[in-house]
Amino acid sequence: MIKTNKQNDIDTLLDDLGINLNIEHTQLKTRKNGLLLSDEQINILNNHNINYEQYQTLESLIFAIEDYINDVQGYMDITDIDELSKQLAEQNYYNNTNK
């Protein structure tokens, strides 16, 4: 891919800020169970031993994540899974709420 000077400037700036844009890793994809999840989200779920494949709706997955957070909160770092829960709740709101 040929990059323009402007693109090189943007890439340099992102590198300097420590920002790595990996679109493939963050892009939402439809999974076997019909849920829209990114590879990054699945990695977070796997790190916390939450099997996303057993849930058929985003609501049920969010509920399971919240149960998990309540169980481990206080003796485990839950920053990543807490952020994921917020992301999924927002995604669910925008995709499944009549506006």
Which pLDDT does position 8 carry in this prediction?
A: 62
Query: Does 4 map to a domain?
Result: no
Q: Give the domain extent around 44.
A: 23-96
Residues lower than pLDDT 70 in the chain: 1-8, 11, 13-15, 18-23, 99
In a domain, residue 15? The reply is no
Domain count, the chain: 1
What is d(CA 88, CA 85) in angstroms, rounded to the nearest whole number? 5
Domain presence at residue 34: yes
Residue 8 lies in a domain: no
Give the pLDDT of residue 22: 64
Give the count of beta carbons closer than 10 Å to the beta carbon of residue 22: 10
In a domain, 10, yes or no: no
Give the pLDDT score at 20: 62
Token duo for residue 27:
């892009």
Does a structural domain hold residue 12? Answer: no
Q: What is the value of pTM for the model shown?
A: 0.74
Query: Strand, helix or coil at 52?
Result: helix
Structure tokens at 6: 């402007």
CA angle 78, 80, 81 (to 5 degrees): 65
